[in-house]
Amino acid sequence: MIKAKITVTLKKGVLDPQGKAIEGSLSALGFEGVNSVRQGKVFDIELTMDDKATAEKSLTAMCEQLLANTVIEDYRVEIFS
Amino acid sequence: MIKAKITVTLKKGVLDPQGKAIEGSLSALGFEGVNSVRQGKVFDIELTMDDKATAEKSLTAMCEQLLANTVIEDYRVEIFS
């Protein structure tokens, strides 16, 4: 059993309206000193396989094909145990 | 300037239909050995303050008040220099 975490974030320079909305809300709630907020996605994935190399290859393929829009998003794969 | 990352994930036991949908799509794409997928959110936040203790307090308050629904979600605050 392999546990992995995939983090998908917008590439630098890509506008993040959701992040901007959160910035506005935080400001409206009275939080000061917030310079920028950018929102991303995180996927906690459990795989039944045990080989880390195979798992990493498979997870990268999942990102390329489904989890991330590689035109505007970056992804990072982390594998635990 | 402080950079922080807030990760918001569903509590254990809370149904994650979005994660289930991703599991189904991965299976349809031919990925085998996917045991479970759970989706969460990640916020990359830049604060103009320099004091880590104040920043952590402020970020925790942001989670409680806006970023996480603490009834069904857990949050984790990480601060980088």
What CATH number should be reported for the domain holding residue A8? Answer: 3.30.1280.10
Which pLDDT score is estimated for B81?
A: 73
- In B, which residues are within 8 Å of A16 by CB distance? none
How close is the nearest chain B Cα to the Cα of A33, in Å? 5
Number of domains comprising chain A: 1
| Average pLDDT of span A60-68 | 98
Q: Does B41 touch chain A (CB under 8 A)?
A: yes
Q: In what order do the strands lie in the sheet with B2-10?
A: A73-80, A2-10, A34-47, B34-47, B2-10, B73-80
**pLDDT tens string B39-69:** 999 999 999 999 999 999 999 999 999 999 9
How close is the nearest chain A Cα to the Cα of B71, in Å? 19
Range(s) of the domain holding residue A72: 2-80
**pLDDT tens string B26-35:** 999 999 999 9
The yes-or-no verdict on residue A5 having pLDDT over 90 is: yes
Q: Does B26 touch chain A (CB under 8 A)?
A: yes
